[in-house]
Structure 1
Amino acid sequence: MDIIKQGSLATSSGNTLEKTVTATLLSKGFTLIGYRDYVKNKKNCGHELLIKNVPYKTIYNHPGKTEFLLISKKYSLEVRIECKWQQSSGSVDEKFPYLYLNCIEAMPEGDIIIIIDGGGAKSGAVKWLKKAVEEKRYTSDKSKNIKVFTLVEFVKWANSTFR
């Protein structure tokens, strides 16, 4: 498969992951809104929101975006959601340390969910990320609550959280 087709497949598959996350949360009563629209009209957006393309400043002080910010007044939640799909060998899993450092140092939310699926990430990379999260490596801020889920684990979390 040539590089262009691989890139297109990765983008398409990643979009499928994001669409599944969106459908799961819409079924729980959340409203999907783009970040720009949310910022323009916060007061009229409601209280159960799934905001997409949410910016932050990375550890390199560059603009970054995550897929979603979930805000729920009803459940007292504000959770940033990062989606990573890797269906075949590639470089997504090599970016896990950078992602983790952004979670602990740059993302302002106290609660963060990282969804990793597709079956192509190196098992050692996923184990490293889960262990770093569990041990709260490289941070003295123990208040961050980071979860690493597969897509199935995320759906189970949503089902048990939003009853």
Structure 2
Amino acid sequence: MNRGCRANKTGFVLEATVEGTLRGHGYLEICPELPKKRKLDWLLLSTANPKRYAKQVYIGSSIYETEINVDFYIVGSGSFPLGLIVECKWQEDKGSVDEKYPYLNLNIKTCYGVPTIVIVGGDGMRQGSIDWFKKQIPDNQNLLGVHKLEGFITWANKPFFEETAIIYDNAAFKYFYFTKLKRIALFFRVNRLTLTVLGSII
């Protein structure tokens, strides 16, 4: 197995472990078959499960006007009513993944719009790059934390991540959050069966 294939495989193991942690806390994956650009709206509108997530979700454009597809978009935690993004970064050998942290940090700050956790792993990840990334947290309103895998599991075991968000479904209002090129919070009036939106959906 060449270096690239091995890195992809181990990176997949990191994501699978994160997914196992989410499932262990009662989160279920929805809409895996949908195109990336349709997942976010479906995820936010779904009533299939109060605690849910989707993988490889398109959230809009980067600072370079390229597409951003995040690893995990999580909905249903009471502590994060607008959602939570988790990004996984793996570098097994010497490489360029950790050299892209400034780019990722700026995207999180200007383009993500919701709290974000970055999980890093691999022997090739230089400690200096991780330390730099953590220092950006106070100046980045969307960067919640930078963790190695064991740190993320410890963080996820805290009570606030277990809390389920309150959903307003009393036949009058539901609160939905949409993120695309611009991130804004909107209240939509909801009928029991239909959602009518005047104008274009974000």
Gaps of 5+ in 2: 164-202
**Aligned partners of 2:13 and 2:117: how far apart in 1?**
17
Please list, as runs of the form range in 1=range in 2, the aligned pairs for 1:109-120 lying within 5 A after superposition: 109=114, 111-120=115-124
Whether the 8 Å CA contact 1:48–1:74 is kept in 2: the answer is: no
Matched, 1:19 2:37: no
RMSD: 2.1
- Specify the alignment match of 2:102 in structure 1: 97
Amino acid at match of 1:29: G
Query: How high is the TM-score relative to the length of structure 2?
Result: 0.69
Gaps of 5+ in 1: none
Whose Rg is larger? 2
- Specify the alignment match of 1:107 in structure 2: 112
**Aligned partners of 1:40 and 1:124: how far apart in 2?**
39
Structure with higher helix content: 1
- Kindly, what percent of the aligned residue pairs are identical? 31
Please list, as runs of the form range in 1=range in 2, the aligned pairs for 1:64-143 lying within 5 A after superposition: 64-72=68-76, 74-77=78-81, 78-109=83-114, 111-134=115-138, 136=139, 143=141
Cα shift readout 1:60-100 (whole Å, capped 9, x = no counterpart): 11112110011115554411000001111111001100110
Classify the secondary structure of the residue corresponding to 1:106.
helix
**Aligned partners of 1:37 and 1:70: how far apart in 2?**
12
Cα shift readout 1:17-41 (whole Å, capped 9, x = no counterpart): 0000000110111001235466457
Query: How high is the TM-score relative to the length of structure 1?
Result: 0.84
Cα shift readout 1:99-154 (whole Å, capped 9, x = no counterpart): 10010011121x100001113111211111111223x1xx6xxx434210110010
1:46 offset after TM fit, Å? 2.0
- Specify the alignment match of 1:162 in structure 2: 162
